[in-house]
Amino acid sequence: MKKIFTLIAVAAMAISANAQDVFIPTNAKTYIALEEASTANCKIVMGDDTYNATTAKSHKAYILSTGLSTKVEEEGAEKDRYILLSGKNNPYSGPSDAKVTYSPENKTLPEKGCYYMITPSKAGKLTVGIVLNADKAFYVVKKSNGECLPVSAVKLTNDGETSSVEPYKSDYKTDNKVTGTAEFNVDANETYYVFCNGSKLGFFGYVFTITDGINTVKAVEAENGAAYNLAGQKVADGFKGVVIKNGKKMIQK
């Protein structure tokens, strides 16, 4: 019985093992090129650009379900608003007179302009707040190999008063503007580049949910032939009375 209670306790701890980090940009702050910000288990580095955070008050879309909104005093009341970062230049690599943009074929990561590099220290799920213009190729790319995540691995959601999943097409574009989130699974210590081609991807923070560690509990097989009394103590074969043996209650005479 003690073993059973121990397994239940471990299972309860496993349920609460997942933890979340939330990063929201600082209102009215200018982030300089390659500036780093971090939470307990994740860090973000801004691309080689200048990022201005305008006041959340100027953005009317409500972001309710992601945990990325902040309270702003407006019209005599506090309301949920998001603080938007956006760079000055579109992402590219190479010299300014011969710009190269990323594609799944060339795997050339951006070196200049507006992009975001996010590195979790543990495996988990990233929910990144974005403002993505329609018909702009959006990529989540692993730094280690230059491979972008397939569209099937990224969930784009238009958030607000209501939320709806935005179709993410095979050309990595959307038909509609997305003001909401991009959600995808991440590996520990891998850096993920998040950006879009031909535009400056808006960014208003991330939620990182840890999923590694103890998340499942494997049942321990009962010792073959072993018997336990009702207090959960292992007893000898000569013990007389009610015992638990191979998961069943019986009387041992």
Which residues is 73 bridged to in the sheet?
78
For residue 32, being part of any structural domain is answered with yes
**Mean of pLDDT values over 149-161:** 92
Q: Which of 191, 145, 154 is nearest to 172 (CA)?
A: 154
pLDDT in tens, 10-26: 333 433 446 889 999 98
| Residue 98 maps to a domain | yes
Domain presence at residue 13:
no
Is 123 exposed, middle or buried, given 0-12, 13-18 or 19+ CB atoms closer than 10 A? Answer: middle
Least confident of 153-157, 197-201, 212-216: 212-216
Name the average pLDDT for the chain. Answer: 83
Residues 118 and 230 in one domain: no
Kindly provide the b/e burial profile for residues 128-149, where b requires at least 16 CB atoms within 10 angstroms of the residue's own CB.
bbbbbbeebbbbbbbeeeeebb
State the Cα–Cα distance between residues 191 and 142, nearest whole angstrom.
6
pLDDT reading at 203 higher than 70: yes
Question: What residues form DSSP beta bridges with 125?
Answer: 185, 209
Look at residue 12 and tell me if it is in a domain: no
Q: What is the pLDDT of residue 137?
A: 98
pLDDT in tens, 77-93: 888 888 899 999 999 99
Query: Which residues lie closer than 8 Å to 94 by C-beta, 6 or more apart?
Result: 100, 108, 111
Using left for φ > 0, alpha for ψ between -120 and 50, and beta otherwise, residue 75 falls in left
Query: Looking at the whole model, is its pTM more than 0.85?
Result: no
Return all residues near 3 (Cβ < 8 A) that are at least 6 apart.
220, 232
Residue 82 lies in a domain: yes
Q: pLDDT-based confidence at 219, cuts 50/70/90?
A: very low
Is 103 inside a domain boundary?
yes
Task: Taking residues 46-69, report their average pLDDT.
Answer: 81
Region 130-142 average pLDDT: 97
CA distance 13 to 7: 10
Among 194, 210, 226, identify where a domain stops: 210
Number of folded domains that form the chain? 2
- Would you place residue 234 in the very low, low, confident or very high pLDDT band (cuts 50, 70, 90)? confident
Distance in angstroms (rounded) separating the CA atoms of residues 10 and 116: 38
More confident residue, 151 or 160: 151
Query: Do 130 and 233 belong together in one domain?
Result: no
Asked whether residue 119 carries a pLDDT value surpassing 60, the answer given is yes
Write down the pLDDT at residue 214: 43
pLDDT over 80 (residue 120): yes
232: containing domain:
2-6+217-252
Q: What H or E segment, with its residue span, contains residue 193?
A: strand 192-196
